Structure 1
Amino acid sequence: MKTITTPVPALDKAIRVCNFLAEKGNATFSQIYLGVDLPKSSTSTLLNAMVAHGMLRQERDKYSLGLLLFELGNKAIQHFDIKTVATPLLAELRDSTNLTCHLGVLEGGAAIYLLKMESPQAVVVRSWEGKRLSLYSSGLGKVLLAWQEEQEIDDLLPESEPFTAYTEKTITRRAIYKQQLAEIRQRGWACDDEEDCIGVRCISAPVRNAQGDVIAAISVSGVLFQLPEEKWQEIANQVQHTCSLLSTLIQA
């Protein structure tokens, strides 16, 4: 994830701690100051303040995200009108494909799920509203990045931060990744073929505003037998149709 530096270093440090714990789940004092690269002397004061404000919880020697962030996150999501408009459309897509459907946006250097519609089938895809996704290994992340300016792509995925191989299929070479983005722009949809999670595939397409800018993406996810390669185009057509409907509604 891109590290942002502002004229308010205390806030920057708190955000870095939150992002670290969002990824790790929980961590000790030592794991936090080493993982976030903060001075040991000031980390204790920072963590105590974050606990006092409800941003973090402390249980014995471990810290985790606090309920304040959950409450604020829910309120923020409620303010996204696109989520309300998209809900019935994603429900229809879920019912027609029997796949888990997501709506996501680009925010803070990551792809974030705003809405999830769980598949009616017994197969469960582990995800949740508010989850942050990789921009290079997830189908939704690829779509959100594919139509960005070249400089924006480089800023979001700086050379100083190597791609992590989440699975043996994750693309870790930038040249190959950028070639894939060009292919996504040409065909209009993206696929994650077990690149983010072994055994899970995803197909995603863009949602556009009145100016034609990509402002969100819709994806469907499932395990291998639900998304065999011979059905990718058929399912991509359904996802693109839903994206077109949502684009029309938000442009009205």
Structure 2
Amino acid sequence: MGQPSSGIGVVDKSVAILAAVAEEPRTLADLVTSTSLPRATAHRLAVALEVHRLLARDADGRFVLGARVGELATAVPDPLVVAAAAALARVRDECGESAQLYRRDGAERVCVAAAERSHGLRTTVPVGSRLPLTAGSGAQVICAWSDPATLADVLEHAEFTDRALAEVRRRGWAQTVGQREAGVASVSAPVHGPDGGFVAAISISGPIERLGRSPGPRFAPVLVAGARRITAALAAG
């Protein structure tokens, strides 16, 4: 998806870099390719963003989102994130896997909160990460409870069908195995607001070796219960 233009070049270019890194860690060469910026410009802006802790480097020297992004995101509390904190931690502890909360943003889903597994092999999805709506159990849940008219372009390229989404709505949860990322399984359930409207998808993800090839029946009850706790917390807040 193309980024909107504000007419202020340096801002638009910096946002393009941040958006690219939010999708996945990027080398400088990756940034040049994904943003179409000249190499010198991409390097200059990425280093400047790193100084301000909006970008950082991983162990392989790739650019990743910096700690300041999360700090800014939590500076003004998001009622959904606040309501989800305890429920996400409980889901993580009961399932033994990292838990995430995704909200739709156009044709993408954004991780707005997470509770990471503290040890062992884990599938980390940093807060602020943007993932496509075309694959994964979280994407299926969001699409299943979205207006079909707004999803035509997404479903044209999705790894699932309208029929699959109808099944997700019927049973109240989704599971995928290796759909978005090889070797990773996930289970998700819808979170509804106090008025009954859909607000987010709560998910767990982890290696297929731990979750198995049919993780839904095992983990969905925990996720559905977690979603209800978030709804109750939103109503109480």
Q: TM-score, normalised by structure 2?
A: 0.77
The structure-2 alpha-carbon separation of the partners of 1:16 and 1:228, relative to structure 1 and needing over 3 Å to count, comes to same
Please tell me whether Structure 1 or Structure 2 has the larger radius of gyration of its CA atoms: 1
Q: CA RMSD in A?
A: 3.2
Percent sequence identity is: 23
Aligned to 1:168: none
What's the CA shift string for 1:61-92, capped at 9, x where partnerless?
A: x994675xx42442223522322222222222
2:236 corresponds to 1:238 = no
Residue 26 of structure 1: aligned partner: 27
**Number of the residue aligned with 1:97:** 95
Query: Which digits, 9 at most, give the CA deviation of each residue in 1:21-63, with x for residues without a partner?
Result: 43352224xx54553345x5xx8568646755646689xxx99
Letter matched to residue 83 of structure 2: V
Label 1:142 to 1:9 Cα distance change in 2 as closer, same or farther (>3 A): farther
Q: 2:19 corresponds to which letter in structure 1?
A: N
Partner of 1:71: 68
Q: Which residue is 1:182 aligned to?
A: 166
Residues paired across the two proteins, number: 227
Question: 1:180 Cα shift?
Answer: 2.0
- In 2, the alpha carbon distance for the partners of 1:198 and 1:236 equals 21
2:192 counterpart of 1:208 = yes
Q: Using the alignment, how far apart are the partners of 1:32 and 1:234 within structure 2?
A: 40
- 1:46-195 → structure 2 map (5 Å cutoff): 48=44, 52=48, 54=52, 64=63, 67=66, 70-78=67-75, 79-107=77-105, 109-119=107-117, 122-154=120-152, 157=154, 171=159, 176-195=160-179
What amino acid is the match of 1:20?
Answer: A
Between 236-245 and 72-81, report the one with greater CA deviation: 72-81
Residues of 1 paired with 2:144 and 2:162: CA distance?
Answer: 8
Q: Which segments of 5 or more consecutive residues in structure 2 lack a partner in the other structure? A: none
Distance 1:73 1:90 in 2: 17
Structure-1-length-normalised TM-score: 0.73
Are the aligned partners of 2:203 and 2:223 in contact in 1 as well (CA < 8 Å)?
A: yes
Tell me whether 222-231 or 188-197 shows the greater mean CA deviation.
Answer: 222-231
* Bigger Cα displacement from structure 2, 83-92 vs 222-231: 222-231
What residue is the counterpart of 2:7 in the other structure?
A: 8
Q: Compared with structure 1, are the counterparts of its residues 133 and 234 closer, same or farther at alpha carbon in structure 2 (3 Å cutoff)?
A: same
Moved more, 70-79 or 89-98: 70-79
Runs of 4+ in 1 over 6 A off after TM superposition: none
Partners of 1:19 and 1:4 in 2: how far apart? 9
* 1:167 match: none
The Cα of 1:226 is off from its aligned counterpart by 2.7
SS in 2 for 1:226: helix
Distance 1:65 1:223 in 2: 22
Secondary structure, counterpart of 2:169 in structure 1: helix
Q: Secondary structure at the match of 2:190?
A: strand
Alignment partner of 1:142: what SS?
Answer: helix
Q: Deviations over 1:100-150 (max 9, x none)?
A: 211222236422222222336623223322222222222222212221112
